[in-house]
Chain A
Amino acid sequence: MSTLPGSARAVVIGAGIVGNSMAHHLWRQGWSDLVLLDKGPFPNPGGSTGHASNFIFPVDHSKEMTALTLESVRQYKDLGVFTESGGIEVARTEERMQELQRRMSSAASWGVEPVSMVTPAEIKELVPFIDESVIIGGFYSPGVGVVDSLRAGTIMRERAQEAGALTVSPLTEVLGIDVERGRVRRVRTTRGDIEAEVVVIACGVWSPRIARMAGATIPLTPAVHQMIDVGPVPHFAESKSHIEYPIVRDMDTNMYERQDGSGLEIGSYAHRAILHDPDEIPSIEQASLSPTELPFTQADFDPQMEDALELMPEIVGDESVGVKYAINGLLSLTPDGLPLLGETPEVKGLWSCAAVWVKEGPGIGAAVAEWMTHGESEIDLHSSDIARFWDHQKTRAHVRARAAEGFNKTYGVVHPGEQWASDRDVRLPPFHARERELGAVFFEAAGWERPHWYESNSALLDAYGDRVTRREAEWDSRWWSPIINAEHLAMRDRAGMVDLSAFAIFDIAGPGALHAVQGVSVRQMDVPIGRVVYTPILSPGGGFKADLTIMRLGEELFRVVTGGAHGAADKKWFTDHLPADGTAQLSDVTTGWTTLGLWGPRARDVLASVTSDDVSHEGFRFASCRDIEIDTLRVLASRISYVGDLGWELYVPMEQGARLWDILWEAGRAHGVVPVGIGVYGTTGRLEKCYRAYGFELETEYNVVEAGMSGPKVKDEDFVGRDAHMRHREEDPAAILCTLTVDDHTSQSGAKRYMLGREPIQTRAGGPLVDAKGRRSYVTSAGAGPSIGKHILMAYLPPEQAVVGTELSVLYLGERYPVTVDIAGPTPIFDPENTRIRS
């Protein structure tokens, strides 16, 4: 064991697949003076890597996770530790068959090939010991395989060691992490202290405990995944390698079965959620196996044994085949099922690389190392950014509630609109009681309860008749209502009130405020007081970090308004880019202000009837904001729109929100104002105007030019991503964001089907569309356009296809539907001249 250095550029805590990968990729990014330590011995320190099932199915509905998994497979292959076995997700139900068709779409969208749907007979050929009579089909991925994750970690670690960049230290326990002035300073260990510029927490189920030493939170919970190994299996006696048959995921029972040498490993995500506490995990000395291989609780597994017996009776039913190993293995679960990556918002220089499974470990190590080195990674990690959580989402109770709810969805059929059931009603706007009375159906955003539509508007369905499209297929109409489309039409005809309380709002104030916002915004921020600026926020490489609005409220005061879902990460981005000299400060006023949107042709009439201030077109121009008086309320009114109609965002102190609602509601009655949900605001209204949304159209993998959002000229002042943006303006874009509409919704069964988003856009013949950067075309957003009477899809297309009138297709649940390019670029499909907004 080498001596522990007194200082290091970076200390990586945890030597499982993640920590080894982190150390390795930091070295590959040119870092040296690295230290990797673990309280356990090498090569298996006793964490989750040591008992991982180690198989990899690449296709996931998440683009980010699929990209990270594919990159991991590439690395595992390079390291020589990948054995391709193929894998089949089998279906016992028709609902699952549809879900597997969705897998086919995701595979095509993310470019995972080859994959195919297979019949029970074909599955029997591949997996002779399966009872094909209990299944009705499957999704076959020949590229599925098994890795030796311990060996991979060892190789990666040793390469960095051999290069002289890395000191490793097993059997070294972290006792504390010192933070000075908000920055990580040193790691205190049982083998001495190490001064460090950067500390990476990569210790899986122990991560929350280590983070807490520094005053940071890593919101995950250790949870049990049960698995058993039965053998010796006579069928495998002749096997020449440890896996010769495809891995089977029995999706409907939440289980998998895979050959492991002479044994069959059976794993389950079907049992009750068994959550542990990071502080309660046994020490290495106390554990009878390893700290993360806990005693098996048989009763939890009994039903799964019956399911396994049913699917593979030849092996599982063999009396000579015994249960040789059975554990409650610990793994990491998070509130939303995604990893926890990035610098912690609490402590500068303290990075989290946690809740990462073997299938994505090497890819995530590479991506986080890039992020630490260049300020961003090639694969966009925004879904996994640890800065995404608001405070309540980091509490133990929330983490446990959502992890427990999510656990049984590991192999679940999860609808893209699916809402969480646990820990709801946390953030309630002042309008909440009114909304309840109106029969609001609430969806959650960042913990806020937001009306998605209002049952009180159901009468509008009759009023609009055939103009409102119904959806006959249950899947298409799950988490959806035709009332959304009716609300949309009522807003376009008259006016709607929209609860926008989920906005994240922060003020940037001080002598350096202009400089601070200027430095992160593409658009010119040195504007007159009272102007509202919508601007992209870029990564250093010129990709999208955010898009948001900034109001100039004073010489030295700017108010940033962004979506709640990504607001916490945006807050970190702005905080990180405040001037070092302290001349500007950020204060989060999210919970100080509530926002009500009022839009539609009658919006001005309504507003004018409750204020004596001038709200005429000339007196209150588009893209301006100022205080107005409404009754006894002082309201900050901002004349912008995300739905494409005349109107305002109205900001009042939170406690006065209910009063504002009541005043507008009362005044609106004469004008036919309706309450309008986020179904309109986020989808139908937005898509008709071709407005882009962060996390859908906008992410770091696409640039401003591709998104059709570059302005006529670039401001002189510097901003993050400016050089890259200038370069992008000189290049021909590799893809152009387009708006398409569906020509014919009729499926083979005769039912009309409606895409929900993330499906592949293909040629009419079903060929893939790949741009010059290797990116596939897929539906970034999908939704109804009630005013234009069509279903709208947005997608980045290669320039050859990004031509109005180009006939293409979309693959939805196993069938192709004809679509046509309506718009190439940013022009709205509805009211292209923007006469409504500017009236």
Chain B
Amino acid sequence: MALNILCCVKRVPMTGGRIVLTADEQAIETRHLGFTISPHEECGVEEAVRLIEANGGSSTVLALGPAEAEEQLRDCMALGIDRAIHLVAGDEFDGQATARAIVEAIEAERAAGTEYDIVFFGNESADAGGFQVGIRVAHALGRPCVTGVKAVALEDGGLRLEQEVPGGRDVYRVTLPAVVTVKEGLNLPRYPSVPGRLRAKKKPLEARTPERGSQGVEKVRLVVPADEGSQTEVLGRGPEAAPAVVELLERIGVAG
């Protein structure tokens, strides 16, 4: 069955080093940082691309964010997503306002004849970590929603979803249309190919400017925890160090 899939993503700073805040403590200093989407969302995009590759249909990526978020939308299209919707928002939207804007966009799409069978979200955004947009959207649309999903399969016209829980996995079946919030580990996202990159430049991107409306949550400030520092342990020198290295690799689970 041909599917229509929407992936919702958020432009976030690519942190890796020590996080520095802006002077007003309202945001992360991003002067030296690149931008990306969260690893969860990367898996959602990959899953959407695979489902369309296997079943046919169409995929759309949506981001609410500043003008620069077009970069992330193009990145997603480079991976195989067909088109993009950019909800251009200069101001910061809280979870409630974000969900409202996305619902409006989905309803506008429906009015224009596009009904999404599956809406993928990352389980939580990489920066705010509110864990709520996907659920709010599902609720507003009156659709089933499974969170923390680590496996997706199309089965009998619905989805078979595995949710990660402490100690194991819960397996669900949902009917479509549905909302799914996914977690890193769902799949191994591909790298963009050069032809994919070049195609992405030409794919359709539709920009809209949503009203933010009222927000119930006010961000007071960000706090960076005190640096706990890192400890360096020399495992040894030369060939004698080999057993210690093997033991460490086994312990962290990359060998053995």
Interface residues, chain A, with chain B CB atoms under 8 Å away:
230, 280, 282-289, 294-296, 298-299, 302, 305-306, 308-309, 316-324
Give the contacts of B140-193 with A (CB-CB under 8 A): 190-193
Which of B7-52 touch A at CB < 8 Å?
Answer: 14-18, 20, 31-35
Assembly CA distance A225 to B192 (angstroms): 21
**Of B17, B75, B192, which contacts A285 at CB under 8 A?**
B17
Residues of B contacting A294 in the complex (Cβ-Cβ under 8 angstroms): 32, 34
10 pairs from A and B in contact (CB 8 Å cutoff): A282-B32, A287-B32, A288-B32, A295-B32, A298-B74, A298-B75, A316-B195, A320-B193, A322-B190, A323-B193
Complex CA gap A288/B31 in Å reads 12
Kindly identify, within residues 196 to 212 of chain B, every residue whose CB is under 8 Å from any CB belonging to chain A.
Answer: 196-198, 201
User: What distance in Å separates the Cβ of A374 from its nearest Cβ neighbour in chain B?
Assistant: 38
Q: How far is the CA of A324 from the CA of B192 in the complex (A)?
A: 8
Chain B interface SS verdict (over half) = mixed
Cross-chain contact A287 with B16 (CB below 8 angstroms): yes
Looking across the interface, which residue of chain A has its beta carbon closest to that of B74? A298
Interface contact B32-A322, CB-CB below 8 Å: no
A298 to B201, CA, bound (A): 11
Chain A positions within 8 Å of B250 at CB level: none
Chain B residues with CB below 8 A from A286, complex form:
17-18, 20, 32
Please tell me the number of chain B residues within 8 Å of chain A, measured between CB atoms.
Answer: 24
Residue of B nearest to A231 (CB): B191
Report yes or no: B194 in contact with A288, Cβ–Cβ below 8 A: no
Given contacts A286-B20, A289-B16, contact A323 B194 (CB under 8 A): yes
CB–CB B34/A295 < 8 A: yes
B33 close to A309 (CB less than 8 A)? no
Give Cα distance in the complex from A320 to B192, angstroms.
Answer: 9
A323 contacts which chain B residues (CB < 8 A)? 191-194, 197
In Å, the complex CA distance between A557 and B120 comes to 85
Residue in B14, B190, B194 with the greatest tally of chain A CB atoms within 10 Å:
B194
Q: What is the chain A residue whose CB lies nearest that of B32?
A: A282
**Shortest Cβ gap from A1 to chain B (Å):** 11
A295–B192 CB distance below 8 A:
no
A419 to B34, CA, bound (A): 37
**A285 CA / B20 CA spacing, docked (Å):** 10
In the assembled complex, B247 has its CB within 8 A of some CB on chain A = no
Q: Identify the 6 closest CB pairs spanning chains A and B, nearest first.
A: A322-B191, A295-B34, A288-B16, A282-B32, A285-B18, A286-B17
The complex places the Cα of A285 from the Cα of B228 at a distance, in Å, of: 13
Most chain A beta carbons < 10 A, residue from B31, B71, B75, B192: B192
Residue from A280, A289, A321 within 8 A of B194 (CB atoms): A321
Chain A: minimal CB distance from B69 (Å): 13
Q: How far is the CB of A45 from chain B (nearest CB, A)?
A: 15
A318-B193 Cα distance, complex, nearest whole Å: 7
- Known contacts A288-B34, A295-B33, A298-B71: does B17 contact A317 (CB below 8 Å)? no
Asked if residues A305 and B33 are in contact (CB atoms below 8 Å), the reply is no
A115 to chain B, nearest CB (A): 31
Q: Find the residue from B14, B15, B192, B197 having the highest chain A CB count within 10 A.
A: B197
- Beyond A302-B197, A324-B191, list 13 extra A-B contacts (CB 8 Å): A280-B31, A282-B17, A288-B32, A295-B35, A298-B75, A299-B71, A302-B198, A309-B194, A309-B198, A317-B194, A319-B195, A320-B193, A323-B194
Contact of B16 with A305 in the complex, beta carbons under 8 Å = no
Please state if A302 and B196 are interface contacts (CB–CB under 8 Å).
Answer: no
Residues from chain A with a CB closer than 8 A to the CB of B196 are: 319
Contacts of B190 in A (CB 8 A): 322
Nearest chain B CB to A46 CB, angstrom units? 11
Chain B residues with CB under 8 Å of A289's CB are 16
Q: Which residue of B lies closest to A276 (CB)?
A: B32
CA distance A294 to B35 in the complex (A): 11
On chain A, the residues within 8 Å of B20 by CB distance are 286
Shortest CB distance B17–A (Å): 5
How far apart are A545's CB and chain B's nearest CB, in angstroms? 44
Inter-chain contacts of A230 with B (CB < 8 A)? 193-194
| In the complex, residue of chain B having the shortest beta-carbon distance to the beta carbon of A281 | B32
Check B16–A295 contact: CB distance below 8 A.
Answer: no
Nearest CB of A to B202, in Å: 11
Q: Are B193 and A288 in contact (CB under 8 A)?
A: no
Q: How far is the CA of A166 from the CA of B194 in the complex (A)?
A: 47
Which residues on the B side are within 8 Å of A285 (C-beta)?
17-18
Interchain nearest-CB distance for A691 vs B (Å): 54
Q: Residue on A with the closest CB to B29?
A: A286
- Give min CB distance, A410 to chain B, whole Å: 22
Nearest Cβ on chain A to B195's Cβ, whole angstroms: 6
Which residues in B have their C-beta under 8 angstroms from that of A287? 16-17, 32
* Cα of A306 to Cα of B201 in the assembled complex, Å: 12
Give the distance to chain B from A733, nearest Cβ to Cβ, in Å.
Answer: 55
Which of the listed residues A295, A306, A308 has the most CB atoms from chain B within 10 Å of its own CB? A295
Distance of A170 from chain B, by nearest CB (Å): 11
The interface bits of chain B over 67-100 (1 if a CB of A lies within 8 angstroms of the residue's CB, else 0) are 0000100110000000000000000000000000
Chain A nearest CB from B53 CB (Å) reads 11
Whether A284 pairs with B17 at a CB distance below 8 angstroms is yes
Q: Return the chain A residue nearest B227 by Cβ.
A: A285
Q: What is the distance, in angstroms, from B13's C-beta to the closest C-beta of chain A?
A: 9
Choice from A295, A302, A320 contacting B14 with Cβ under 8 Å: A295
Whole-angstrom distance between the Cβ of A746 and the nearest chain B Cβ: 48
Most chain A CB inside 10 Å of its own CB: which residue of B15, B17, B20, B35: B17
Q: Which residue of B lies closest to A232 (CB)?
A: B191
CA distance A397 to B20 in the complex (A): 29
Bound Cα distance from A587 to B44, whole angstroms: 72
CA distance A503 to B14 in the complex (A): 54
CA distance A160 to B194 in the complex (A): 45
Residues of chain A within 8 A of B33, CB atoms compared: 288, 295
Which residues of A are found within 8 Å of B192, using beta-carbon distances? Answer: 322-323
A305 touches B197 (CB 8 A): yes
Return the CB mask of B108-148 against A: 1 if under 8 Å, else 0: 00000000000000000000000000000000000000000
A287 to B197, CA, bound (A): 26
How far does the Cβ of A203 sit from chain B's closest Cβ, in whole Å? 19
Task: Contacts A286-B32, A288-B33, A302-B201 given; indicate if A308 touches B194 (C-beta within 8 A).
Answer: yes
A289 to B34, CA, bound (A): 10
Q: Which of A296, A317, A318 sits near B34, CB closer than 8 Å?
A: A296
Contact B17 A309 (CB under 8 A): no
A750 to B20, CA, bound (A): 68
Please state if A316 and B194 are interface contacts (CB–CB under 8 Å): yes
Query: What residues of A have a CB within 8 angstroms of the CB of B31 in the complex?
Result: 280, 282
Chain B residues with Cβ below 8 Å from A299 are 71
* B32 → chain A closest CB, angstroms: 4
Q: In whole angstroms, how far apart are the Cα atoms of A297 and B35 in the complex?
A: 10
* In the bound complex, CA of A323 to CA of B195 (Å): 10
Query: Which B residues are in CB contact (< 8 Å) with A280?
Result: 31
- Minimum CB–CB distance from B70 to chain A (whole Å) comes to 10
Chain B residue at minimum C-beta to C-beta distance from A280 = B31
CA distance A91 to B196 in the complex (A): 27
Q: Is the CB of B34 within 8 A of A309?
A: no
Chain A residue numbers with a CB within 8 Å of B195 are 309, 316-317, 319
Report chain A residues within 8 Å CB of B201. Answer: 302
Cβ of A295: which chain B residues have Cβ within 8 Å of it? Answer: 14, 32-35
Contact A306 B198 (CB under 8 A): yes
**Chain B neighbourhood of A298, CB < 8 A:** 71, 74-75, 197
Q: Kindly list chain A residues whose C-beta atoms are within 8 Å of the C-beta of B35.
A: 295
B141 to A: closest C-beta gap in Å: 33
Task: For the complex, give the distance between the alpha carbons of A320 and B191 in Å.
Answer: 9
Bound-state Cα–Cα, A321 to B191, Å: 8
Q: Which residue of A lies closest to B189 (CB)?
A: A322
Q: Compute how far the CA of A647 lies from the CA of B175 in the bound complex, rounded to whole angstroms.
A: 101
Task: Please name all residues of chain A whose beta carbon is closer than 8 Å to the beta carbon of B74 when the two chains form the complex.
Answer: 298
Closest B residue by C-beta to A282: B32
Alpha-carbon separation in the docked complex, A18 to B80 (Å)? 44
Of B17, B32, B34, B193, which one neighbours A321 at CB under 8 angstroms? B193
Chain A: CB-nearest residue to B71: A298
A305 to B193, CA, bound (A): 10
A280 to B29, CA, bound (A): 13
Residue numbers in A under 8 Å from B71 (CB-CB): 298-299
